[in-house]
Amino acid sequence: MSLFRHRRLVDRLGRGLCGLATLLALVPLVSVLVWLVSHGARGLSFALFTELPKPFGEVGGGVGQALLGTGIMVGVALLLSMPLGILAGIALAEGGKSRFVQIVRFVADVLAGAPSIAVGVFVYTAVVMPMHGFSAFAGALALAVLMLPTITRSTEELLRLVPIHLREAGLALGLPAWRVTLSVTLKSALPGVATGIMLAVARAAGETAPLLFTAFGSQYWAWNLSEPMAALPLQIFTLASSPFEAWHQQAWAAALVLVTLVLLANLGARFVTRRARGGMAL
């Protein structure tokens, strides 16, 4: 009898600890969000989005050039990585269980797990040094290298979820295999594939380390891909590392903008996948 009570006690305790661990895990998230809102909201202003940073001592200013820079570099990175990633994902999904597919899949996983700072070093030695200077193009390239394996793998997994009978129906209608791949298989998987790309974009938009010595950052409006360019995370780093209270305030505001963008992309992606799943079930 007492043995049973002991066992029941242990059962309760074990379950309680797991629940407690879950609560504990959420503490940092709540803390981060609370600080972002309480400190960031105060710094939000129209100028934050439209103006350049002001030298210290002057009031106001914004991070407009960093928002623009992030937009440009992530956009270029997307243009570089998306076609390649989707094509590679198709090759993996349609290549069966061949040795080539296994190798490429493993390589993609390794690249996805690679430290982003090391990718920055690679782009520095491969692009920045030969071109004798930091450039937005180098930054975009580093982001593209980080996005490529993610897009490849998520595209592959979503293509594999498309029922084989849809593909066969397309082939049996006399459509060439490549059209079936694009117009039937990829089309069916499109919501999910778009989600994967959106998540990769969100992640790239938040990357700092690979931009440190590729895009380098800038305090001016920049459109030219061959010049240094600002990015929102880089700007937050600069602002936070300064000794000035007003800049810290701006760092929180910029971080609030960044996190809002990233979390919206994540939640949006979840929403799209859920709807796509609902629609796919016959």
| Contacting other proteins within 146-205 (CB under 8 A) | 148-150, 152, 157, 165-166, 168-181, 183-184, 187-188, 199-200, 202-203, 205
Burial tier of 272 (Cβ tally within 10 Å: 0-12, 13-18, 19+): middle
Minimum distance of other proteins from residue 218's CB (angstroms): 13
Question: How far apart are the C-alpha atoms of 107 and 278, rounded to whole Å?
Answer: 33
SS3 229: strand
Minimum distance of other proteins from residue 41's CB (angstroms): 15
Report the run of H or E that residue 207 belongs to, with start and end.
none
* Residue 237 near other proteins by CB under 8 A: yes
* Residue 96 near other proteins by CB under 8 A: yes
Place of tokens 């780093």: 237
CB 144 within 8 A of CB 211: no
Number of residues forming the site for other proteins (CB under 8 A): 118
Place of tokens 């790239």: 204
Please identify which residue in 56, 106, 220, 223 interacts with other proteins, judged by CB under 8 A. Answer: 106
Minimum distance of other proteins from residue 176's CB (angstroms): 5
Q: What part of residues 43-82 is at the interface with other proteins (CB under 8 A)? A: none
Contacts of 185 (CB under 8 A, 6+ apart): 93, 159, 162, 166, 167, 170
Please identify which residue in 1, 3, 29, 59 interacts with other proteins, judged by CB under 8 A. Answer: 29
* Residue 8 near other proteins by CB under 8 A: yes
Minimum distance of other proteins from residue 127's CB (angstroms): 10
